[in-house]
Amino acid sequence: MTDQREPGLRQRKQAATALTIERSAVALVQEHGFQAVTVDMICAASGVSQRTFFNYFKTKDQAILGAEPGRLDERRVREFLASDSPDLLAGILDLLATLAPVGTEDRALAADRMGIISRTPALMQKEIERLSDVYEELKEVLYLRLRRSAPANEPPEETRAQSALIAHLIPGILRFTLEQQNSGNPGHPHAGTEQLLAGALQKLLPAAPAGETAAT
């Protein structure tokens, strides 16, 4: 009789090996810098052969970047589009929750990885290319949500431009959120993020002239 548990066990072992390689690659880059790290160094730190390494990753860069990004969850997309909540940032973070790691160790790895990517132009370019499909999907979802509540005199092109700009902001917001979680900041995963972003954006915008009230 075939043991039905064997494929699951094998997959868990494969996932554990891949994660070990990723963690070793990220740790080595943090210690020695991106250019100095080699596949041999990653193999030695991971306790695997080069053959095993290349069974999981084609290049050093791929081991540092990790698994290919997922896609937006269809159910979350529907909920986001149907929502009338004015808290757009919280809705976006919830929408992207399936793309973010959930375990404490996974969040720490993701935060370290994002720090490396932000400091390494070659990796940044590759990550942008990997995220292009998710970015395009997110941009379209944002457009549909924003267009529903846009003023009647706002041209669709302006709404699309706003959606694209917000989509470009998301990687930085996610990195900040991961770093906050990794530092042990207590509370809800999104706690404080919305308020901090609102305050920061207000500092970028010119103050309204005295006596002028905001449009309602």
CB 55 within 8 A of CB 85: no
Length of the chain: 216
Measured CA distances, 96 to 69, 71, 150 (Å)? 11, 9, 23
Q: Residue 102: pLDDT above 90? A: no
Q: Residue 5: pLDDT above 70? A: no
* pLDDT for 62: 95
* pLDDT for 133: 85
Is the whole model's pTM more than 0.75, yes or no?
A: no
SS3 180: helix
Q: Residue 191: pLDDT above 60? A: no
Per-residue pLDDT of 122-165, as tens digits, reads: 998 898 888 888 889 999 999 999 999 899 999 999 999 999 99
SS3 83: coil
